[in-house]
Structure 1
Amino acid sequence: MEKIDAFCHIMPPDYYARFFSVADSGPVANLRNRVAKIPCLHDMDVRFRVMDEFGDYRQIINIAAPPVEDLGSPQLSREMSRLGNESMAELVRTHPDRFAGFMACVPMDDPEAATAELDYACNELGALGAQIYTSVHGHPMDESRFDVFYARAVELDKVIQVHPCRHSGWADYPTETTSKFELWWALGWEMDLSLFMGRMVFSGVLERYPTIKFLIHHGGSMIPHFSGRVGPGLDQLGARTPPDQQADVEGYPLSKRPLDYFKMFYVDTAMFGAAHALRCTVDFFGVDRVLFGSDSPYDPEKGPGYIRSTIRNLDEIGLGEDEQSAIFHGNARKVFNATFREVGAL
């Protein structure tokens, strides 16, 4: 069966070289150490050998973490975004049998510049949408300054991928200064994604832009697994709010249950081999809102592991052939509103 991997990461060679030349910061230095050990991110020969295992398989690529906003000044963010977009567009153009499309890299530390880059990447380079992160320099993504970007994505009918971005400097407890045991990644990233979704709901972003298409990494994270808490639990919003925070919950702009908004997100299948969790994700969001996505190449094998385990999970959780077809490739065509011929594929 044809497979379109809708959420996987890359560092094209030109971007990779520039990434290693910018000034160090703690989180960036740590990620440099990580990506340097994953040749599949930047060596296309290695990447293509990995992909060969999976037959009729292509990827929709995005620029790997860290966010460009963390690399330095807003000017550098803009420069790196443009380099990433033009590099990915070239890969899609020259390897249509490998890459079905790409997601724009956008400098969200300057929402106006991010919107302009979205326009350029989509209209001039053929991007299918953009990847953003769950925060920018610690700022939540429901701040009103980001509305210009969301509105333009809706006008263009483009997908917004959402990736977490917490690092070890985000302490787990108020008495500490760092997060330990990589829990900032294993659990903190899922908190990031879940909080992003909640803020998009209660700030009214989904109310104002009901056709916006957010594609949430890691199967919608915590939300499907805690549907009782975001369902009947948040139906009681305000019951637990301290008196000095009542303004937070008074007059929030929703016309239906919070649970109904949470079901408006699209999600991928990047659950790292946890079949039971993937089944929960499909049950909560419905087959038509789940897209095959692997998070490759961050598995222990540095490329094929999560692709293989995700395919296996989709074979073993009791889906019918039509349901598998929708998740593996049909939903991508619908959600990205593309045959992929526009970007050189098929």
Structure 2
Amino acid sequence: MRRIDAYAHILPRPYFDKMADMAKDKAAIKRWLTIPVLYDLDARLKMMESFPGYQQLLTLSNPPIEMIAGPEESPAMARLANDCMAQIRDDHPDKFPAFVASLPMNNVPAALEEMERAITQLGARGIQVFTNVNGRPLDDEEFWPIFEAAVKRYDVPIWMHPARGAGMPDYASEKKSKYEIWWTFGWPYETSAAMTRMVFSGFFDRLPEMKVITHHMGAMIPFFDGRVGPGLDQFGSRTSDEDYEGMLKRMAKRPIDYFRKFYADTALAGGKSGIRCGLEFFGAEQVVFATDCPFDPEGGPMFLRTIPRAIDELGLSKSDQEGIYFRNALRLLKLPCDC
């Protein structure tokens, strides 16, 4: 069966070299330096040949552009990344049917210009944002024009990737997160917090057609559907210094119904129970296949084996399987189904 990996990461070699040169702290990017499939296209293509019918939608890997480049340099970095991904797509359309545009989020006017160029000239099929912009929330009004343009002007989906580092401590008495808690549990929290900010700041009321693809199966939301559902039906009862109860009364839907409007992917490192939980919450029509390639212990191929195995063992109907593996992605990207 055809499989379109909706969240496959890449650092095109010209961009990778520039990023490595700009990085002030080489230790911070040490993991990227040890995964050839991330920046070596020949290695990536060779790996993909071992998986018949497998294709990738290209998304730029961590770190966010705005984390490594200031507002003066980030627009050029975004242009370089998008030019490189467009070229890879053009050179290998059978392997990479589309790419997702990266934006310099620390320079909103430049981000709007690059979005227009990437979509209208290069043919990008969506945009990628991270869950915060150097610590600022996505519902900061300065970023609103980016989301509004993506939905109203270009009608493209939005990929949302978690961004959180060890510098965000787990306890107020400490200066950094220990034991990689910032990643293992911090990233799901980060995604869930960004989703919640979108819900309560009215993103879906102002942009009802918005399609946001959350990485790692909607993070904490499906598992905590009871807290999100009945729990947030009591929104405001725990807060005395904000009129959250008034906000709840003004919302057109229950909070949990807004959360169900997000899309999710299967990038859960091969965990079957998490995929089942996410499918029950979002529905198969709002889940896309993704592997998080090449961030596995083998540097690429492991999740390409284990995640399809987990999906196939769930006993889904052929229609749901096809939807998850490729039809949902094609529909989101407005690409024809030549299968």
Classify the TM-score, shorter chain. Answer: over 0.9
In the alignment, which residue of structure 1 is the partner of 2:6? 6
Deviation of 1:181 after TM superposition, in Å, equals: 0.5
SS of the residue aligned with 1:267?
A: strand
Residue 22 in structure 1 maps to residue 30 in structure 2: no
- Amino acid paired to 2:199: V
Q: What are the equivalent positions in structure 2 for 1:9-88 lying under 5 Å apart? A: 9-25=9-25, 29-88=26-85
Per-residue deviation, residues 216-270 of structure 1 (Å, max 9, x unmatched): 00000100000000101000001111x22x2455436521100100000011100
Q: What are the equivalent positions in structure 2 for 1:1-346 lying under 5 Å apart? A: 1-25=1-25, 29-155=26-152, 156-241=154-239, 243-244=240-241, 246-247=242-243, 250-251=246-247, 254-339=251-336
Q: Does the aligned pair in 1 maintain the 2:118–2:124 contact within 8 Å?
A: yes
- Amino acid paired to 1:255: A
What percentage of aligned pairs have identical amino acids?
41
- Please list every run of 5 or more consecutive structure 2 residues that lacks an aligned counterpart in the other structure: none
Greater mean deviation of Cα atoms: 45-54 or 35-44: 45-54
Scaled by the length of structure 2, what TM-score is found?
0.97
Deviation of 1:146 after TM superposition, in Å, equals: 1.2
- Amino acid paired to 2:319: D
Deviation of 1:76 after TM superposition, in Å, equals: 1.4
Please give the alpha-carbon distance, in whole angstroms, between the structure 2 residues aligned to 1:249 and 1:298. Answer: 42
Q: Does the aligned pair in 1 maintain the 2:168–2:175 contact within 8 Å?
A: yes
Q: Does the aligned pair in 1 maintain the 2:235–2:244 contact within 8 Å?
A: no
Please give the alpha-carbon distance, in whole angstroms, between the structure 2 residues aligned to 1:39 and 1:137. Answer: 27
Greater mean deviation of Cα atoms: 192-201 or 103-112: 103-112
Per-residue deviation, residues 60-82 of structure 1 (Å, max 9, x unmatched): 01111100001131121111100
Deviation of 1:5 after TM superposition, in Å, equals: 0.5
- Amino acid paired to 1:195: A
Please give the alpha-carbon distance, in whole angstroms, between the structure 1 residues aligned to 2:80 and 2:162. Answer: 22
Please give the alpha-carbon distance, in whole angstroms, between the structure 2 residues aligned to 1:249 and 1:179. Answer: 34
RMSD of the alignment, in Å?
Answer: 1.4
Please give the alpha-carbon distance, in whole angstroms, between the structure 1 residues aligned to 2:122 and 2:318. Answer: 34
Deviation of 1:112 after TM superposition, in Å, equals: 2.3
Please give the alpha-carbon distance, in whole angstroms, between the structure 1 residues aligned to 2:14 and 2:244. Answer: 45
Please give the alpha-carbon distance, in whole angstroms, between the structure 2 residues aligned to 1:311 and 1:83. Answer: 33
- The higher-RCO structure (CA 8 Å, 6+ apart) is 1
Please give the alpha-carbon distance, in whole angstroms, between the structure 1 residues aligned to 2:335 and 2:192. Answer: 28
Scaled by the length of structure 1, what TM-score is found?
0.95
Please give the alpha-carbon distance, in whole angstroms, between the structure 2 residues aligned to 1:99 and 1:329. Answer: 13
- Please list every run of 5 or more consecutive structure 1 residues that lacks an aligned counterpart in the other structure: none
SS of the residue aligned with 1:58?
A: strand
Deviation of 1:23 after TM superposition, in Å, equals: 4.0
SS of the residue aligned with 1:225?
A: coil
Per-residue deviation, residues 111-156 of structure 1 (Å, max 9, x unmatched): 2221221111010001011110000111110111111011111121
